[in-house]
Structure 1
């Protein structure tokens, strides 16, 4: 595999760090800007909603720009947006900075995945996409906890300066190390065509439900864990490391599980496990046993990270398999559904926190995960999804209603 693909992983690490670190500094932001944690949590909603809705048309607008130039510009724009967040005098300016950061992130993430595909052979595609997505897992394990510790020691503004530095380094690395790749064509028509396919729509519904359930809890991990265990910001930073470690483990094993059990079984298992873990977390918030809760919450969060990440890998594998000749468009729609789930997850979790209390946050997340099980349908291509697909589905995969065979999506972690 082309080693320069790792430069793209640096970019996904930077974007992921910015997206995750805010969960660890929300209480500090709320205190400094004279607001509540639930209101400041909507900064996550703003970022994700802008990414989900503006990303696809924005990428279409710049589809003729060479990827190397586009990725460099997107990283620099992302750096400027985070610098603005670091100096924001009030919540309004910080929200504007989050909007700009979302635009920069959207302009980087999907073109980065497409560039990774262009730099590898078809046989290397799953591994190449796994490497670029791996930057996000490292962001969970290292970037977000480091940023949270920096924010705890130097103030939340320092966390945004940290991301600004990472974005500048990404721009320099891409500009100096990435080869020139021809720009792709406008994929708007392809996306509309994919949305007409029922299996793709079911897949996007699963993505939305998975991230709605998980991110609604992750955004408010600090107040939920504090209520259950009494841990402060440093404890939450440690939990983020544990959470990311679970994701890294899942990244190494999920593709093998998909190959052995099928993508439908992995997705059902991930959503069921998330629901069960969140039920336990809710129980911990209403008991007055901080020592026991602390001992339980670390392995619980590790398993939560592994389940969430396994579901995400399963979803990318599923959608890439449903459109083998339109992977970039299908994964672009996956990212939009993902961030729409993140956006509404932040809002839903905030409503649960402010309306009922910390215990309600994991309860709502678990209920959404259970509902998401209803969308695990037609995970392999049928006659209406791809022309000429003839390979039978992998053993154990659920093709859902309707006859027909399709290209297997158990192709590895993408």
Structure 2
């Protein structure tokens, strides 16, 4: 695999650190801005909503800019937005800074994924996805906890200065180390065509539900952890490290799980596990049993991170495999659905926190995860038309092999889950 893909992982690490560190400094921001924690939680919602809605058209606007130049500019813009957040005199300016940061992140993340695909061979795509997404896992494990500790020691503004420095370093690394990659064509028509396909829509629904369930809880991890286990800022930072470690481990192992069990089974298992873990967390938050509160939260968060990350990597692999000829567009839609889930998760979690209390937050997340299991269908690519046939076959259901009878014979579709391609075998019976 092209080692320069790791430069793109540095960018996803930077963007991820900024997104995750907010959860660790929310109480400090709320105190300084004289607002509630639930209202400050909407800073996550604003960021994610702007990313989800403005990202695709913004990327289309800059589609003729070469990736190296676009990514460098996006990283510098992201740095300026975080510097504005660090200097924000009031809540309104902080919201504006988050809007600008979302635009910079949107201009970086999806083009970075497309550039990684352009730099690798087709059979290396799963590993390239794991590497670029691995930057996000490292952000969970190191970036967000470090930013939280910096915020606890020097004030929440220092956390944003930390991200600003990371973004400047990313811009320098991309500008000096990334090779020249041709600019892509206008992706607008491709996105519309993809959205007309039922398997793509089911895939985006899964992405939306997965991130909604996770961020409903993660955004308000500080008040939930404080209520469940009496943890302060340092304890929450430790939980973030454990959560990210689970994700990092899962990122290295998930391709093997997919190869053995299939994409659909891994996705359903991850969502079901998330629902179960959040139910346990809700019980801890409601009962505050001292012995359990000491022993359970850290292994629970490790498993939560692993399950969530397995689902996220599986989803990127799923959507890339469903549209191998339009991979950049499909991944761009995935990121939009992801951040839409983050936005709704932040808003829904805030309503649960302010309306009922900390125990309600993981209950809502668990319910969403269970409902999302129903969206895990049609995970394999649509079979190519048989030679001489003008009609496009329907998408195969997953997981596993199945036969679809027809006048022309039988088609056997088998999912090769260890890669982003699914093998399609056409067998015709002779009369």
TM-score in terms of structure 1 length: 0.95
Residues 379 and 399, structure 2, Cα contact 8 Å, conserved in 1: no
Q: 1:5 matched to which residue of 2?
A: 5
Q: 1:244 matched to which residue of 2?
A: 244
Aligned-partner SS, 2:324: coil
Distance 1:257 1:395, change over 3 A: farther
Q: 2:188 matched to which residue of 1?
A: 188
CA distance in 1, matches of 2:197, 2:414: 15
Q: Structure 2 matches for 1:14-413, cutoff 5 A?
A: 14-383=14-383, 396-397=399-400, 408=415, 410-412=417-419
Deviates more, 1:358-367 or 1:287-296: 287-296
CA distance in 2, matches of 1:405, 1:154: 61
CA distance in 2, matches of 1:54, 1:406: 37
Distance 1:394 1:53, change over 3 A: closer
Unmatched tracts of structure 2, length 5 or more: 422-431
Q: CA-atom RMSD, angstroms?
A: 2.4
Post-superposition Cα deviations, 1:238-289, rounded to whole Å, max 9, x if no partner, equal 0000000000111011111111101110011011000100010000011132
CA distance in 1, matches of 2:356, 2:400: 40
Deviation (angstroms), 1:394? 11
Aligned-partner SS, 1:373: helix
CA distance in 2, matches of 1:353, 1:385: 51
CA distance in 2, matches of 1:303, 1:240: 12
Residues 377 and 399, structure 1, Cα contact 8 Å, conserved in 2: no
CA distance in 1, matches of 2:288, 2:413: 53
Residues 187 and 329, structure 1, Cα contact 8 Å, conserved in 2: yes
Aligned-partner SS, 2:68: helix
Deviation (angstroms), 1:63? 0.3
CA distance in 1, matches of 2:301, 2:157: 27
CA distance in 2, matches of 1:334, 1:409: 21
Residues 216 and 348, structure 2, Cα contact 8 Å, conserved in 1: yes
Aligned-partner SS, 2:184: coil
Post-superposition Cα deviations, 1:193-223, rounded to whole Å, max 9, x if no partner, equal 0000001101100110111111100000100
CA distance in 2, matches of 1:200, 1:8: 25
CA distance in 2, matches of 1:198, 1:353: 35
Residues 322 and 409, structure 1, Cα contact 8 Å, conserved in 2: no
Post-superposition Cα deviations, 1:82-107, rounded to whole Å, max 9, x if no partner, equal 00000101110000000000000000
Deviation (angstroms), 1:4? 1.1
Deviation (angstroms), 1:397? 3.7
CA distance in 1, matches of 2:308, 2:419: 17
Deviation (angstroms), 1:294? 2.2
CA distance in 2, matches of 1:113, 1:310: 18
CA distance in 1, matches of 2:206, 2:196: 16
CA distance in 1, matches of 2:108, 2:176: 16
Residues 321 and 407, structure 1, Cα contact 8 Å, conserved in 2: no
Residues 321 and 409, structure 1, Cα contact 8 Å, conserved in 2: no
Q: 2:425 matched to which residue of 1?
A: none
Residues 389 and 406, structure 1, Cα contact 8 Å, conserved in 2: no
Aligned-partner SS, 1:382: coil
Residues 378 and 396, structure 2, Cα contact 8 Å, conserved in 1: no
CA distance in 2, matches of 1:25, 1:150: 10
Post-superposition Cα deviations, 1:284-326, rounded to whole Å, max 9, x if no partner, equal 0111323421210100000000000011111111111111111
Deviation (angstroms), 1:12? 0.5
Deviation (angstroms), 1:340? 0.2
Deviation (angstroms), 1:402? 10
CA distance in 2, matches of 1:196, 1:413: 21
Distance 1:394 1:4, change over 3 A: farther
Q: Report which of the two structures shows the higher radius of gyration computed on alpha carbons.
A: 2
Residues 249 and 306, structure 2, Cα contact 8 Å, conserved in 1: yes
CA distance in 2, matches of 1:298, 1:166: 28
Residues 127 and 413, structure 1, Cα contact 8 Å, conserved in 2: no
Post-superposition Cα deviations, 1:23-60, rounded to whole Å, max 9, x if no partner, equal 00000000010000000000000000000000000000
User: How many residues get paired?
Assistant: 413
Distance 1:401 1:306, change over 3 A: farther
